[in-house]
Amino acid sequence: MSDRSREWFERAVKRIPGGVNSPVRAWKAVGGAPRFVASGGGARIVDVDGESYIDFVGSWGPLILGHAHPEIVAAIEAAAKDGTSFGAPTPLEVELAEAVVERFPSVEKLRLVSSGTEATMSAIRVARAYTRRSRIVKFDGCYHGHVDALLARAGSGVASLALPDSAGVPPAFAAETAVAPFNDRAAVEALFAAGGDSIAAVIVEPVCGNMGVIAPAPGFLDFLRNITEKNGALLIFDEVITGFRVARGGAQELFNIRPDLTCLGKILGGGLPLGAFGGRADIMDMLAPEGPVYQAGTLSGNPLAVAAGLAMLHALGRPGVYEKLEALSARFQRGLEAALKSRRVAGIVARQGSMLTLFFGLERVRDAEEARGADRERFARFFHGMLARGFYWPPSQFEAAFVSLAHSEEEIDRAVAAFDDWAAAER
């Protein structure tokens, strides 16, 4: 560990639980102590000791244009000169809402919040009010923020009530959540057969990014759309990661599915704290002051975040953007797979668009149970091996890595060469 990062971490643990403000940043899954970042530009970050790394974390997804993109920085600076917060409506909020609706046909109205967790929490509340039902179905391994009812894991049966997955969550809260394996139609059918008239909504990451990248099996999202409609429940897509990432209109554009509600964040805020949830007008009109569902936020629609988000969406609207991102990501995948094969290191590269995960020791990954079978010790060695070679990867087997438009072909090829070098030494 670098000297100045060590000093900062020692100071941090005295005043911040675990020394970090979000758990995965502590590197518990890979060992060691975290680097403290001083700055970033393009595809690179620089730590407090001046060490530079090509970054594949991208602030966990938002930085699809790279660090400190000039258009984003300019938008924030311009907005800040007019004021940082008003607690009153602004024209930019309306423009951002219109921009989202234009890109997501399933969204007729939306409300801005400050985080993805707020978005999913609020969407669940609206879904319960609209359907007058209380139970929620989620999938094992999908993460929807630190909402009490959604911090749940599977019980003893496939179609079971959930158990709390965090201290401080009363069992009664988790009991209103049912958990099924991702990509398992039979488990979802069993839940609806056992009590479909009590299920308010099914919430899903259409492409999983929090148990590593796992794509939906062919027809699985269509199945969820059909079974929710048949049973009078709502379908909620958590596109906090996939929104504007896997396609201009998110995973729902990619798979041609229209959910009832959509949760957004990350890229939407251009790297600043911003989230949103939206959907059909008749559902969204349940919100106060129009309807009986209360939801509010002092910094919701913050002008700096909204300005950054508008600049981000403008940049992503240029011709060829997603084609370039796909070409870079496919190049990365091909290179990593070739290195795995040539060095005879067991593993797969799971990718959807510009998000990907290396799973060591597996031949396929369809759900959380299979993902948990990955060789995490080898992953930790991989993480530190790549770090030593100048590449910053997510410090967890179960987080997605991200390619950005700031990455060049040369940087992608250098990352592949570094991985090949590590794999040769690993074998």
Under 8 Å between Cβ of 302 and 86: no
Give, rounded to a whole angstrom, the gap between the first and last alpha carbons of the chain: 25
Determine the Cα–Cα distance for residues 329 and 331; give it in Å rounded to an integer: 5
Written as six digits, the tokens of 280 are 């059909």
Q: Which DSSP symbol is given to 17?
A: G
Determine the Cα–Cα distance for residues 212 and 338; give it in Å rounded to an integer: 20
Catalytic residue among 47, 55, 184, 238: 238
Catalytic residue among 53, 130, 143, 322: 143
Determine the Cα–Cα distance for residues 190 and 139; give it in Å rounded to an integer: 14
Under 8 Å between Cβ of 202 and 137: yes
Active site residue 266: yes
Active site residue 143: yes
Hey, what amino acid is at 48? V
Determine the Cα–Cα distance for residues 363 and 7; give it in Å rounded to an integer: 41
Determine the Cα–Cα distance for residues 209 and 356; give it in Å rounded to an integer: 8
User: Longest C-alpha distance within the chain, in Å?
Assistant: 62
Determine the Cα–Cα distance for residues 206 and 222; give it in Å rounded to an integer: 11
Locate tokens 């409300």: which residue? 111
Beta strands, E only, 157-273: 160-161, 163-164, 177-180, 199-204, 234-238, 261-264
Q: CA angle 250-236-104, nearest 5°? A: 35
Determine the Cα–Cα distance for residues 78 and 206; give it in Å rounded to an integer: 35
Under 8 Å between Cβ of 10 and 363: no
Beta strands, E only, 243-392: 261-264, 275-279, 347-352, 355-360, 391-392
Catalytic residue among 47, 55, 266, 367: 266
**What's the distance, CA 410 to chain centroid?**
27
> Which letter, b or e, does each residue of 239-250 get, where b requires 16 or more Cβ atoms within 10 Å of its Cβ?
bbbbbbbbbbbb
Written as six digits, the tokens of 76 are 């924030």
Active site residue 238: yes
Q: Which residues are known catalytic residues? A: 143, 238, 266
